[in-house]
Structure 1
């Protein structure tokens, strides 16, 4: 069960499936006005979702924070499930079982999604308006807002 508390001006406390006892979560990440949670494999099957659609987001969608790739009709998404998610101010990034990173949400004035290197990653972290990851060769990559040297 995910329990959220605090100011609810953008629906951040309205956890999807919050009252369903057959839904279990593996993790949660919250930004400024949104949250995203990863469903367990059993919960994904219980909802008849595709295995790769294991991330659900809620809260404000003013700038695409809830538009998880692959879940939203017409958006290309990963072919495998997410194993980790991280939320920044107005974006979320996920690391897939295939070691790829997908991001969604705020993409202007920087191009968050387009700037992700095509590498295999082992870890991920999201900051305010930027994200960083470490690849399999232990090299660090960051992308996003860079006005203050991020």
Structure 2
């Protein structure tokens, strides 16, 4: 499959948990986890889609500089420089140390 133009996002896969249902809008970056994905929108907010187990696809509100998805969690760097993570925390991956950021 060839995208129609630069900047076009095409997703392939089983679509079982909805990870191919990309919201409308423009993103400056995209990151994917095990069965969810998130994008940093041009207005500096984060939008996520796909499976939302453990809340991994439910980003907090606010402005962000970047976003990265893990298998079952997601982290975002706020515009203020603070790091925040959400989703599954079975091994401490969403517990950001207070001295970080």
TM-score range (shorter-chain normalised) is 0.7 to 0.9
Offset, 1:83: 1.0
Deviations 1:44-63 (A, max 9, x none): xxxxxxxxxxx432111111
List gaps (5 residues or longer) in structure 2: 94-101
Deviations 1:76-116 (A, max 9, x none): xxxx41111000111100000000000111112x12233x2
Aligned match of 2:20? 66
List gaps (5 residues or longer) in structure 1: 1-17, 27-38, 40-54, 71-79
Aligned match of 2:55? 111
Structure number with higher relative contact order (C-alpha < 8 Å, ≥ 6 residues apart): 2
Q: CA RMSD in A?
A: 1.6
Moved over 4 A (4+): none
Count of residues in correspondence between the two structures: 93
TM-score (norm 1): 0.57
Counterparts of 1:60 and 1:25 in 2: how far apart (Å)? 25
